[in-house]
Amino acid sequence: MSGGSDVVVIGGGLVASALAYGLTRDGCSVTVLDEGDVAYRASRGNFGLVWVQSKGDGLPGYARWTRLSADLWPDFSADLLSETGVETNYHKAGGLHLCLSEEAMESHAALIHRMHNVHGAADYGAKLLDRADLEALAPGLGPDVIGGSWSPHDGHASPLYLLRALHAGLEARGGVYRPKSRVKAIVPLASGFRVETDRGEVHGDKVVLAAGLGNRVLGPMVGLDIPVWPLKGQILVTERTGPRLSLPTTFVRQTEEGSFLLGDSHEHAGFDTTSRAGIMADIAARAIRTFPYLKDLRVVRSWAALRVMTDDGFPIYDQSETYPGAFTVNCHSGVTLAGAHAMALAPMIARGRFDEEMSMFSVRRFHVQAH
């Protein structure tokens, strides 16, 4: 067996990388084991929002956790830049949710009112906007946009630069990233864990299962139930153009380089990652309805990727009761939560247990008996 570490992190996407980087900040020696290019990789196919305003309806603790992450993001991103020279292109200009029908506006207004109650009016910061307010923030709106909301805590970043920065930060702090290392087995030992891959074995005092959809299979090896499932999303990318949209919306945003990203489709398609023309047409049509100037831009790329979902949409964070020292971290907002994962959750894993407030994210919430 080679390469003993304080912590072996399984996965190599945004969740695993943020935790691994955070663990090295906490003084742990870390080895990251990542599968290959055939794996499902949400982290390389997402939209790049750091989003707060709609998160936590039904679970106030999740609203607070998301907000904490957004509050940590500026320092997190600045630290990554100073340690690695990689700019994540994080901007916290606020974010817009846009509504294109009376019905959508009504249901969104109800959500914003509920979220006010969740956060407390003084803290929440988001507000409903009419068309004229929106037009001032995002000039060039189409006539169908009737209103929406804005939050100062929302922002966006380049997920690919974020991933690169996290890997560079991990390695700069002595962590080891091993690609093409699919984990086949995790064997609990009297002390620690033996993790077996296609390319040899590694020992860890602790092991963190952060392999996205791969966690479903890995969990039972250490007594963990991890019921995550795929939800497909497609994204279109336009050619680059001059700056037009200074803040992100939930389905159109302009990147630092000038491309527009168009997205936010949701499809139950199992593990199928093919792009479908009908969905692409719907995404493009809605984007043009919202910002008619987009009709003049060519689409240069598109892809589909699989979200890592749970039944209630909230994260699953757990430590195995059968094999303490085996942790798992899963979520569908790995960009948004990267700040909290690196700066708040990783230190808990380093200390050997999640703080009590994280118990709201335990999978035990799905095991409540019906009476």
Ligand X SMILES: Cc1cc2nc3c(=O)[nH]c(=O)nc-3n(C[C@H](O)[C@H](O)[C@H](O)COP(=O)(O)OP(=O)(O)OC[C@H]3O[C@@H](n4cnc5c(N)ncnc54)[C@H](O)[C@@H]3O)c2cc1C
- By CB under 6 A, name the one of 5, 6, 7, 13 that touches ligand X: 13
Secondary structure element (H or E) that encloses residue 308, with its range: strand 299-309
Cα 164 to chain centroid, rounded: 15
User: Is 336 a residue that touches ligand X (CB under 6 A)?
Assistant: yes
Contact between 31 and ligand X (CB under 6 A)? no
Q: How many residues does the chain have?
A: 371
Does residue 16 touch ligand X according to CB under 6 A?
yes
Work out which of 7, 8, 9, 15 binds ligand X, going by CB under 6 A.
15
For residue 11, state whether it binds ligand X (rule: CB under 6 A). Answer: yes
Determine, following the binding rule CB under 6 A, whether residue 339 of this chain makes contact with ligand X: no
Which stretches of 152-238 are assigned E, i.e. beta strand?
155-156, 176-178, 183-188, 193-197, 200-209, 229-238
Reference 362, options 332, 319, 325, 311; nearest CA is 319
Q: From its phi and psi, is residue 212 left (phi > 0), alpha (psi between -120 and 50) or beta? A: left
Considering the complex, state which of residue 17 and residue 319 has its C-beta at the smaller distance from ligand X: 17
- 266 conformational bin, left if phi > 0, alpha if psi -120 to 50, beta if neither: beta
Which is nearer to ligand X, 305 or 340 (by Cβ)? Answer: 305
**Residue of 9, 211, 283, 349 interacting with ligand X (CB under 6 A):** 211
Which of 43, 149, 255, 328 touches ligand X (CB under 6 A)?
A: 43
Does the protein bind ligand X through residue 34 (CB under 6 A)? yes
Q: Is 47 a residue that touches ligand X (CB under 6 A)? A: yes
**Per-residue x/- marks for ligand X, 149-188, CB under 6 A?**
---------------------------------xx-----
Q: How far is the CB of 371 from ligand X (least distance, A)?
A: 34
Distance between CA atoms of 115 and 137, rounded to whole angstroms?
Answer: 22
Spatial separation of the C-alpha atoms in residues 57 and 358, rounded to whole Å? 17
Contact 227, 363 (CB under 8 A): yes
How far is it, in rounded angstroms, from Cα 213 to Cα 217? 8
Give me the torsion for CA of 115, 120, 123, 124, rounded to 10°: 10
Report residue 309 as tokens.
Answer: 């979902």
Q: Is 284 in the site for ligand X (CB under 6 A)?
A: no
Helix (H/G/I), strand (E/B), else coil: 167:
helix
- Taking the least distance from each CB to ligand X, the nearer of 8 and 350 is 8
Check binding of 46 to ligand X (CB under 6 A): yes
Q: Among 64-72, 96-104, 326-334, 353-361, which window interacts with ligand X (CB under 6 A)?
A: 326-334
Q: Does residue 345 touch ligand X according to CB under 6 A?
A: no
Residue among 41, 108, 119, 153 that touches ligand X (CB under 6 A): 41
Q: Which of 235, 294, 316, 349 binds ligand X (CB under 6 A)?
A: 235
* Smallest separation, CB 156 to ligand X (Å): 8
Instruction: Select from 155, 192, 214, 325 the one that contacts ligand X (CB under 6 A).
Output: 214
First-to-last alpha carbon distance for the chain, in angstroms, is 49
Other C-beta atoms closer than 10 Å to the C-beta of 225 total 15
The DSSP letter of residue 343 is I
- Residues at the contact surface with ligand X, assessed by CB under 6 A: 10-16, 33-35, 39-43, 45-49, 51, 182-183, 210-212, 214, 218, 233, 235, 263, 305-308, 331-336
